[in-house]
Amino acid sequence: MKLYYAPASPFVRKVMIALHETALLDSVELLPVTISPVNPGEDVPAHNPLGKIPCLVRPNGAALYDSRVITRYLDSLSPKTALYPDGDALWDALTLEASADGIMDAAVTMTYEPRIRPADKVYQPYVEAQWQKIDRSLTTLEDRWMAHLNGPVNMPVLAIAAALGYIDFRHNDRNWRASHPLLATWEAEIAKRPSLAKTAPEA
């Protein structure tokens, strides 16, 4: 299998976490790419018309995207691990993962906005609205999801940790820990897990 990859992408990190958790890292060739919404290059769109990573190319040449499809595929290849719960618990788990992905989407948009637009075209209220999405989500995690986060470690729980890691990596100036102490305490502990420690983005 081949994975179109960039170490700074939180969505790619989800896949890397899943590869560590399932012990499938050796079965994947990492293909580093540098892309952006205005410069997708040629390789990624040839497999994913959306031009986004992560994109996993299976041995038969068929591509899988997006991150939550790839993580579920990797889980299916590894019967000994359970990255997703069975039964009714699946729906909450998928909603938690959607929260992580939504936080990442907003945080990645905040990163792209000043990088891609000329300085005089950056629309700051749009950037602030992205942060509000994140801030509301972190509050909701503390209000409603701590039991899940402190329960069995599965892919959605790890995805939340990856989302917080990306905020630290790109938007540390927002100081999210000050207003979300429960999450801060939780994050400090789970960040020690090898699949997270080995995939942390480096400045």
Ligand X SMILES: N[C@@H](CCC(=O)N[C@@H](CS)C(=O)NCC(=O)O)C(=O)O
92 binds ligand X (CB under 6 A): no
Specify the stretch interacting with ligand X by CB under 6 A; choose among 46-54, 73-81, 115-123, 179-187.
46-54
Distances (CA, A) of 54 to 92, 111, 124, 157: 24, 17, 28, 19
User: Residue number with the shortest CB distance to ligand X?
Assistant: 66
66 binds ligand X (CB under 6 A): yes
35 binds ligand X (CB under 6 A): yes
Closest CB 3 distance from ligand X, rounded Å: 12
Specify the stretch interacting with ligand X by CB under 6 A; choose among 65-73, 120-128, 133-141, 182-190.
65-73
Closest CB 9 distance from ligand X, rounded Å: 3
What's the CA angle centered on 8, arms 158 and 55, to 5 degrees?
Answer: 75
Specify the stretch interacting with ligand X by CB under 6 A; choose among 22-30, 51-59, 74-82, 123-131.
51-59
- CA dist 136 and 118 (Å) reads 29
- CA dist 155 and 85 (Å) reads 9
State which residue, 8 or 184, has the beta carbon closest to ligand X: 8
- CA dist 186 and 188 (Å) reads 6
